[in-house]
Amino acid sequence: MTDRLARPVRRLALQIGALCVICCLSILSTAGTDGSELRNTPIVKAIQRARGAVVNIRGEKTIVATDHSSPADGGRRVNGMGTGVVIDQRGYILTNFHVVDGVREIYVTTADGRRHVAKLVARDMETDLAIIKIDSAEPLPVAPMGTSADLMPGETVIAVGNAYGYEHTVTRGIISALHREVQVNDSQFYKDLIQTDASINPGNSGGPLLNIEGEMIGINVAVRAGAQGIGFAIPVDKAAEVAVKLLATHNAQNTWVGVESSPNASSAEKGMLVGAVEPDSPADAAGLAAGDVIIAVDDLDVLRPLDFQRAMLERKAGEQLRLKVRRAPDSLELDLTLADLPSRAAPAGQPAWELLGVELKPIPAEDFRKTYQTRYRGGLLVTAVRPHSPADKQGIVPGDALVGMHIWETATLENVAYVLKRSDLVTLSPVKFFILRGDETLYGFLPVVPAKTAQR
């Protein structure tokens, strides 16, 4: 072999040898990490990001006695289970209303294994959503929130929940379809649901449906018993909208702000768009105006209206807040001082008489519990109904107990006044109402009559 031929052969041998060395080092490197990087897939990372904010819910509820059993039996007690998602680090949890409906004691187990007793804060039966609260010594992880505005059929989704009592069960699938409508029974009708083939079983209700980035894009509801590959979830944008209203009602029981939000122009727009400011309110005194966008409250960034309501939780009258506001084309800072609920010149019960034609009287809490075996926490006794009024036309009679209007409970006259004095009342009309009559819960719809045309 000549030197001319030997050189290319030696060069080729050296290249092959170098390649073998690189391959060996690569294999050794992979073996040294036990392949963990290969196994740490996007799905694993998504679950790790959101898992800490998922809680398991258990409780005991009473099943109403049937025609074949004695009413004196009071029904039988069964154990219920479900899932929830932490939306505020102080222990506020979003779940399905049917998970906690009628539950005597709500028990919540957080991701770290600690067990808590929860209380119902607010609920919306129409959308089957509720907020419960636990007291935690440590701040809780909050679920990363995505958007349901840009979902795509076929994209990967992950469901996490308390399936059949097996805590933090993870299943995966794809989005099968959007905008589904599902009739569960005569009283529960879901609109605009996400359909997925990720397994959603009993106990998953109230848990998160995640995208591949670990962001919550829906709240799971188990509605098709025995169906294979068919599950549903409430879109997160709708769930967040309801959560805003529920927290706003809860916050309004303690302090007065005087600001209402409006939907942002797009899901990509950050902040809370101010839709209306109540005259002579703390928001008005601070200089807020309709069209402003609140982007921060003190140190909390406001990415969406839910963040603003979170910033108002557990506040007291007299506290001063620093608001960062975007008022095109400028940015400014405003000082807002929270106030007590205003004492109106008109009695709290007057709007109910003027607009609905019904006279209401508070029912003492102890009397309410003794008289009504119900999930409601309080109500107002109907003492008079004006002839030909909206209440009269809907069949409301003296002796009924008004327990809810739209998504709000009506345990006090102030609760009713809050609903009837909202700036968006016209868009809510007719307002759905709930009454107790004997052992029955009835509902109907009350058209709102302008006060100036109402008869006295």
For the annotated catalytic residues, the residue numbers are 98, 128, 205
How are beta strands 272-277 and 293-297 bridged, if at all? antiparallel
Among candidates 5, 63, 409, which has minimal Cα distance to 246? 409
Joined together, the tokens standing for residue 299 give 């140190």
How far is residue 60 CA from its own chain's centroid?
22
Question: Concatenated DSSP letters for 192-230?
Answer: EEEEE-S---TT-TTPEEE-TTS-EEEEEE---TT-SS-
Peptide bond into 387 cis (omega under 30): no
Residue pair 249/309 in contact (Cβ under 8 Å)? The answer is: no
Among candidates 415, 96, 408, 91, which has minimal Cα distance to 245? 408
The answer for 76, left when phi > 0, alpha when psi is -120 to 50, beta otherwise, is beta
Distance CA 17, CA 31 (A): 21
Residue pair 307/331 in contact (Cβ under 8 Å)? The answer is: no
* Residue 353 φ/ψ, nearest 5 degrees: -75, -40
Question: Concatenated DSSP letters for 133-190?
Answer: E---SSPPP---B--STT--TT-EEEEEEEETTEEEEEEEEEEEEEEEEEE-SSS-EE
Distance CA 33, CA 43 (A): 19
Report the sign of the C-alpha dihedral through residues 7, 11, 12, 13, in that order.
positive
* Residue 138 φ/ψ, nearest 5 degrees: -120, 150
